[in-house]
């Protein structure tokens, strides 16, 4: 792992495989690795073989006397056939092997559990149609990567994926799955995890300056623990906890939702306006009007981000309509008020 802070809960993704590869945590992993190793070994054999023959020829057919002439060479049917047929057979083996694995990977079982994945600059949002109200997101904080996705072991899971802005790619190396998420359409991908644990999620398509911070953590649980964990997360993520002030809850919500990817709290200019000194500030909008930042303005900016665009910023924020309830909005507002 490149990003592994000392005390952080980053998954290590195993690396117990004999070839130094990541854990094989899905039913696809062995297929992918075996084909990869097969191609790797073939390449090494071809590389060494070709260099050895080349070296031998250079020595055996070197010019021995200053007036030596090259003998006339026509062709050798047998050798030409072999150097065409052997690679052709190997290519066919690679193609058929890859195609069988590809077909398996692109045909989700009909009883697969559905999970919705949405990529946005710069976070992953995960929703479970079978468990309304559960919404997990990635964080941009390397020291505190959040559980972004929870799935049960041994159960096929189908991801229905899209993007709200630009191309991203949902990539879970330990599962050996990766696919683009595209604005305006749905892509699907499926997986069946074979071991419990935590593994890293990456964005594998350059999507803007915080692309490298678009990471998450997938947690694989025993099927009997899965629902309980989802319900625990729903409770934890969506509600103010005991001993937590409203302001703390609001701050946590902004972290859980990756708001810090675009809004700084220290005054620095990012993709969106800074939150430092937000309250009571007068914002100038692109349509020439202006307004003082208050509860209604913030509420509208979260639910309908493009209704009023602050001058100098592109309308890049996705709507959080239906993602924050009133209690959560109030907490976020309470937190923003404290950022003087």
Q: Does 258 bind ligand CUA (CB under 6 A)?
A: no
Closer Cβ to ligand CUA, 209 or 294, answer by number? 209
Using a 10 angstrom Cβ sphere, with 0-12 exposed, 13-18 middle and 19 or more buried, the burial of residue 332 is buried
Residues 100-119 within binding reach of ligand CUA (CB under 6 A): 119
Q: How many residues bind ligand CUA (CB under 6 A)?
A: 9
Q: Does 207 bind ligand CUA (CB under 6 A)?
A: yes
Q: Does 125 bind ligand CUA (CB under 6 A)?
A: no
Q: What angle do CA 147, 149, 154 make, to 5 degrees?
A: 125
Closer Cβ to ligand CUA, 211 or 299, answer by number? 211
Identify the bridge partners of residue 190 per DSSP, sorted by sequence position.
158
Using a 10 angstrom Cβ sphere, with 0-12 exposed, 13-18 middle and 19 or more buried, the burial of residue 334 is middle
Residues 213-242 within binding reach of ligand CUA (CB under 6 A): 214
Q: Give the CA distances from residue 237 to residues 63, 87, 229, 332, in Å, rounded to whole numbers and listed in that order.
A: 78, 55, 12, 13
Closer Cβ to ligand CUA, 123 or 230, answer by number? 123
Q: How far is the CB of 138 from ligand CUA (least distance, A)?
A: 10
Q: Does 168 bind ligand CUA (CB under 6 A)?
A: yes
Q: Does 205 bind ligand CUA (CB under 6 A)?
A: yes
Contact call for residues 232 and 219 (beta carbons, < 8 A): no
- Cα separation, 340 vs 338, whole angstroms: 6
Q: Does 203 bind ligand CUA (CB under 6 A)?
A: yes
Q: How crowded is the C-beta side of 23, counted as CA atoms within 13 Å?
A: 19
Q: How far is the CB of 175 from ligand CUA (least distance, A)?
A: 18
Q: Does 183 bind ligand CUA (CB under 6 A)?
A: no
Neighbours of 316 (CB within 10 A): 17
Going 119 to 125 to 131 to 133, the CA torsion angle's sign is negative
Q: How far is the CB of 166 from ligand CUA (least distance, A)?
A: 7
Options 76-84, 142-150, 201-209, 249-257: segment touching ligand CUA (CB under 6 A): 201-209
Neighbours of 239 (CB within 10 A): 14
Q: How far is the CB of 209 from ligand CUA (least distance, A)?
A: 10
Of the residues 129, 144, 206, 267, which one makes contact with ligand CUA according to CB under 6 A: 206
Binding site residues, ligand CUA, CB under 6 A: 119, 122, 168, 203, 205-207, 211, 214
């Amino acid at each position: 792992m490149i990003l592994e802070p000392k005390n952080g809960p980053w998954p290590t993704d195993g690396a117990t495989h004999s070839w130094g590869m990541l854990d094989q945590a899905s039913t696809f992993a062995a297929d992918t690795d075996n084909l990869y190793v097969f191609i790797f070994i073939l390449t090494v054999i071809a590389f060494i073989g070709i260099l050895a023959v080349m070296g031998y020829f250079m020595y055996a057919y070197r010019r021995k006397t200053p007036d030596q002439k090259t003998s006339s060479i026509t062709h050798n049917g047998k050798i030409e056939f072999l150097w065409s047929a052997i690679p052709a057979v190997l290519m066919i083996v690679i193609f058929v092997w890859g195609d069988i694995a590809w077909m398996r990977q692109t045909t989700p079982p009909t009883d697969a559990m559905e999970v919705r994945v949405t990529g946005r600059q710069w976070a992953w949002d995960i929703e479970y149609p079978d468990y309304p109200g559960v919404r997990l997101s990635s964080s941009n904080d390397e020291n505190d990567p959040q559980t972004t996705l929870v799935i049960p072991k041994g159960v096929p899971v189908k991801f229905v994926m899209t993007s709200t802005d630009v191309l991203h790619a949902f990539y879970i190396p330990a599962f050996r799955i990766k696919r683009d998420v595209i604005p305006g359409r749905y892509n699907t991908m499926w997986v069946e995890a074979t071991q419990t644990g935590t593994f890293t999620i990456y964005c594998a398509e350059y999507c803007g300056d915080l692309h490298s911070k678009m990471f998450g953590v997938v947690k694989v649980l025993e099927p009997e623990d899965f629902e309980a964990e989802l319900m625990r997360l729903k409770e934890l993520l969506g509600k103010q906890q005991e001993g937590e002030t409203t302001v703390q809850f609001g701050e946590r919500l902004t972290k859980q939702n990756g708001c810090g990817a675009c809004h700084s709290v220290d005054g620095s200019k990012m993709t969106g306006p800074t939150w430092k000194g937000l309250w009571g500030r007068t914002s100038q909008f692109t349509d020439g009007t202006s307004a003082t930042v208050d509860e209604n303005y913030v509420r509208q900016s979260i639910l309908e981000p493009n209704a009023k665009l602050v001058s100098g910023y592109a309308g890049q924020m996705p709507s959080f309509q239906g993602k924050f309830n009133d209690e959560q909005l109030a907490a976020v507002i309470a937190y923003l008020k404290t950022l003087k």
